Structure 1
């Protein structure tokens, strides 16, 4: 029997038995618990899921009250979560979401990291990151395809479609960055990734995301370049600070083919360890003198970006991977930090224009066979897409499940809903052992306003317009998602982004079929509208193909390409 109120070694229940009064509540309960599964969350003992300090709940007391509320929530009630704390249950209606979540929001003039830290210390808020505080994080298996798609687009643009014989250098092996070594290897490249935390390297090695761990930089670099010469796919982790690895490459004249960073630099107090510090030393300084910690971390970030720029000038294809490291460095005087392009305008925006993004599903049965059945269904429906076919083949070969079995795939406008409605029929027929949860990363086509990431360099200059994620959330409420969230700061940090998430459950019922059809069409659809309004021709073309279901009274004109 599941102990829903234990605070260690948490595992979601599996199978077709309900513990709540409906599958909307049950799915929320199971995915909340899955966020804190030791195989999934980065630091479950402190409720931290990923991204520096992205939490699932504000405190253990809040967690217990959330669990109790979900266990007793009626099918015409809605639970409200205010920054990780359950604050009320209201009578709404059966078609309404069962949970509504708002995390980390501050009035814009007060939306600074310093003010957030002060309020968090008072116990008034928490950092929800993206899928941490919206209960749909699935570990590195959730970011792996986004990294794969990014590197595949980069390889197409710069290296004839493959990373074979190329070295990809980065840092950060946490919840997001942990996908980097495997994604590089899946594209036949050599990934060389630094992290100062030995526990993170060991974790990625145990999961199969990392082939080799090295403690010596020279040894790691030598092995990487030997694999490059042999065109042998390989992933290598090296236990060191990013700056030490980059300094060695510069000194020795080694120029990587591809260069980026995925440390949690958006949260320099928690997510970035200063030069010269071990994990333990950093923790002591953070506790005893947070102002000095921030000073040292930001100085290290400035040096980090300066070294990225040096290698970029020497020929490395260098990009910012969405962690706000450029802005942190710019504020420390690195005035050319933004010479490094962001990955969205460089590689991903065409996917957003087609409504494509990190769509994901979770098998509540706990049975990997359900995921494999859904893989087969996706290939039956969309097997004419060669990149998607390749992705499913590689995912089966390389990606281990973490916690509840899950899968992610970049499906576009009109594909997500079609797939999910078919899955719902399979649940109804018993072909799948239990209901399936459908969600996505908040990093999607229409759910984020983030000028240093998803909305960087929009054609019409609308980078900072934040109406779109709010419209996205409201549309998902109106469409019948089972829970909807709006967050501030995830990915790029406090003051730099607003974003929204949604989850909808396939329980085999006619009600779920209708919800899935509406939500999973409308959710990416507003992203296509957002990009068409900014002037992207491909988004206009996508809207034209869906004119029977999306009417656009006053969309902006097509603009010249970037």
Structure 2
């Protein structure tokens, strides 16, 4: 362990097949925790911040060190408990139990406010885990690019006959989540103009290959997009500026985009959104001495941006919220009609949720890119989805690895189980050089209650029901996931979401195969149950087709 001061530490996951811990069941969460803080992956690793303003991997460096030391020494019949980024105990369990149980940012309902959370965080009693930051399953911007691609493609199908060529999308934010938008848009066939306040974020996206160009000003940005349209290609352009101001300027010029969204870290008005007219230095200094003033100013700017988005909608441009809760922040600032444009889940993704389709990501613990290459090729013959091969080929060409090599794709229940089992066989047969972690984002159909995002506009009005992510987490535990996490506030902020995640280690053993099949199958099953229970016909049909038991429905049929 590096003994240098925290602000000088560089953390990277071990590579190769030599174990640091006593087995791969504890080596895997250890490496994934460290991978979350790899400089290639994390936004501010020196502060333990992975993405999303202040989404941390551990509460502080002392807690990080204790987690690492504990995982290194644990047996496969023990389970580590982590409370908001701090290890608090080790339980005597059994080999099929999770090795780590994580709970982050969870507050009792009446106290689930940003103000209460901030006070507890200042006292050192909590940390914000975002979604995959505090659950140690973040893989860089690649983690969201598949879902972003799916969203943009579906938007193109609904609004432009399935063809986004010659079209362009306007968005804001190039952080850990927003940074996926430029590449996802280009892969979907449209040009993208992304507005970002931090020069370093633009530079990082260009360096990583997620962004093609930076424009000196709006004139150059629009010229580059026009040139791409004329040549029949797509380009992504980053523009340094404030999204509220740039959106208003584009409106004033009348150079209308074909799609409009936003993925700034608006869910966190203190640390995720720079008020219009402020410099980065001013924003950073005032956050410390006047947090209430920063929050108020940020919400005023968000209101301006949302009003501009509403104006685009009024002029016929398809506009959608990309899950950062900017509509709620604008409503708080007085924009009563903020929710007049939809969120991306309700508009474009829910049919996939009804089919139990969600993200499947796999990470090579060896650190060898070759393990991802050969496993991706092998999965082409396993995954039934005909678009999987095309996606893998595009990803291989365009998506660079950040930290431990990985890939992700959205799959249905049967494909997720088949892919997980295939990866486990590859480990057993030596096709890959070391075990593989199988996981997903927390953005999933049965693992999130978020009335302003994943569960917005449910058919039966059950948007705020938080039982489902809790059932999902308990399902993962009882099915044998290697580690399980239950978080509050990720994506849309404190008070606005509850969500669960898991990870499984494919170590080539028969025991791992059994656990992987249970965990992945049951994870998708909960998703189908959630939507079938809400009355979605497609989910009811999926349950029948997959042979999933639904006692209440069966009783009614009886």
Q: Mark yes or no: TM-score above 0.5.
A: yes
CA distance in 2, matches of 1:510, 1:431: 16
Determine whether 1:97 maps to 2:95.
no
Residue 19 of structure 1 and its aligned partner are, at CA, apart by: 1.3
Determine whether 1:304 maps to 2:314.
no
CA distance in 1, matches of 2:169, 2:554: 39
In structure 1, the residue matched to 2:168 is 167
Deviations 1:94-120 (A, max 9, x none): 111000000001110011101111110
CA distance in 2, matches of 1:19, 1:393: 34
CA distance in 1, matches of 2:545, 2:477: 25
Residue 557 of structure 1 and its aligned partner are, at CA, apart by: 12
In structure 2, the residue matched to 1:493 is 493
In structure 1, the residue matched to 2:114 is 113
CA 163–476 in structure 1, closer or farther in 2 if over 3 Å, else same = same
In structure 1, the residue matched to 2:241 is 240
Quick check: 2:487–2:498 contact (8 Å CA) kept in 1? yes
CA distance in 2, matches of 1:472, 1:327: 26
In structure 1, the residue matched to 2:393 is 393
Residue 393 of structure 1 and its aligned partner are, at CA, apart by: 1.5
CA distance in 1, matches of 2:480, 2:81: 16
CA distance in 2, matches of 1:538, 1:339: 26
Residue 4 of structure 1 and its aligned partner are, at CA, apart by: 9.3
Q: Which runs of 5+ in 2 are unaligned?
A: none
Q: Which runs of 5+ in 1 are unaligned?
A: none
CA distance in 2, matches of 1:270, 1:489: 15
In structure 1, the residue matched to 2:469 is 469
Quick check: 2:248–2:305 contact (8 Å CA) kept in 1? no
In structure 2, the residue matched to 1:41 is 42
CA distance in 1, matches of 2:263, 2:378: 33
In structure 2, the residue matched to 1:79 is 80
CA distance in 1, matches of 2:53, 2:455: 22
Deviations 1:293-345 (A, max 9, x none): 11110100111100111111112110000000001101111011111111001
CA distance in 1, matches of 2:216, 2:223: 13
In structure 1, the residue matched to 2:366 is 365
In structure 2, the residue matched to 1:450 is 450
Mapping 1:122-133, distance limit 5 Å: 122-133=123-134
CA distance in 1, matches of 2:483, 2:248: 46
In structure 1, the residue matched to 2:480 is 480
In structure 1, the residue matched to 2:405 is 405
SS class of match (1:361): strand
CA 128–555 in structure 1, closer or farther in 2 if over 3 Å, else same = farther
CA distance in 1, matches of 2:415, 2:71: 31
Residue 231 of structure 1 and its aligned partner are, at CA, apart by: 2.7
Residue 475 of structure 1 and its aligned partner are, at CA, apart by: 0.7
- Is the deviation greater in 152-161 or in 104-113? 152-161
CA distance in 2, matches of 1:168, 1:391: 21
Quick check: 1:25–1:98 contact (8 Å CA) kept in 2? yes
CA distance in 2, matches of 1:452, 1:229: 38
CA distance in 2, matches of 1:24, 1:348: 33
Residue 390 of structure 1 and its aligned partner are, at CA, apart by: 2.0
- Is the deviation greater in 143-152 or in 214-223? 214-223
Deviations 1:446-481 (A, max 9, x none): 100000100000101100110000000001100000
Quick check: 2:13–2:35 contact (8 Å CA) kept in 1? yes
Quick check: 1:5–1:67 contact (8 Å CA) kept in 2? no
Mapping 1:98-497, distance limit 5 Å: 98-382=99-383, 385-497=385-497
Deviations 1:377-418 (A, max 9, x none): 221122x53332221111011000010000001011111111
In structure 1, the residue matched to 2:545 is 545
Please give the TM-score of this superposition, normalised by the length of structure 2: 0.97
CA 416–385 in structure 1, closer or farther in 2 if over 3 Å, else same = closer
Deviations 1:510-558 (A, max 9, x none): 11111111111111110011011111111111111121xx311114999
CA distance in 2, matches of 1:386, 1:415: 11
Residue 222 of structure 1 and its aligned partner are, at CA, apart by: 2.3
Quick check: 1:5–1:64 contact (8 Å CA) kept in 2? no
SS class of match (1:430): coil
CA distance in 2, matches of 1:555, 1:363: 41
Deviations 1:56-94 (A, max 9, x none): 000000000000010011111100000000000111111
In structure 2, the residue matched to 1:29 is 30
CA distance in 2, matches of 1:328, 1:233: 32
SS class of match (1:380): coil
Please give the TM-score of this superposition, normalised by the length of structure 1: 0.97
CA distance in 2, matches of 1:315, 1:228: 20
RMSD: 1.5
Deviations 1:204-238 (A, max 9, x none): 00011111011312221222233234332100000
- The alignment covers a number of residue pairs equal to 554
CA distance in 1, matches of 2:69, 2:175: 30
SS class of match (1:96): coil
CA 5–505 in structure 1, closer or farther in 2 if over 3 Å, else same = farther
Deviations 1:244-286 (A, max 9, x none): 2112111111111000000000010011110011222100011
Mapping 1:53-68, distance limit 5 Å: 53-68=54-69
Residue 241 of structure 1 and its aligned partner are, at CA, apart by: 0.6
